[in-house]
């Protein structure tokens, strides 16, 4: 059964450079593929950090995760606008 990869080229993610599931840094997905081993399909990504170093990571683990949405910043900006309407 094919597993889907939630990432695509150009996605901004948080990735663990040391592949220990900790100390995540912002990175860009530069390759998306599936590793085939003994009949298993393992979704993988290659990420590039700001210093142009790359890491090959399994998608199903703590080493790579989606970057938090910037929508939270938009919600905070909306609050001052609401206060102006009251005045």
CATH of the domain at 20: 2.40.10
Q: Domain for residue 34, yes or no? A: yes
Q: Mind listing the pLDDT tens digit for each residue in 61-82?
A: 999 999 987 645 545 555 555 5
Domain encompassing residue 31: 12-82
Q: Domain for residue 69, yes or no? A: yes
Q: Would you state the pLDDT for residue 70? A: 61
Q: Domain for residue 3, yes or no? A: no
Q: Domain for residue 21, yes or no? A: yes
Q: Count of domains in the chain?
A: 1
Q: Domain for residue 2, yes or no? A: no
Q: Mind listing the pLDDT tens digit for each residue in 43-52?
A: 999 999 999 9
pTM score, two decimals? 0.74
Q: Domain for residue 4, yes or no? A: no
Q: Domain for residue 61, yes or no? A: yes
Tell me the C-alpha distance between 46 and 55, whole Å: 6
């Amino acid at each position: 059964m094919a597993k889907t990869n939630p990432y695509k080229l150009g996605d901004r993610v948080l990735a663990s450079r040391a592949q220990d599931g900790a100390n995540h840094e912002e990175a860009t997905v530069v390759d998306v593929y599936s590793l085939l081993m003994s009949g298993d399909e393992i979704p993988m990504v290659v990420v590039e950090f700001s210093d142009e170093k790359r890491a090959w990571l399994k998608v199903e683990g703590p080493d790579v995760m989606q970057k938090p949405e910037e929508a939270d910043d938009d919600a905070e900006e909306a609050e001052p606008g609401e206060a102006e309407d009251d005045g």
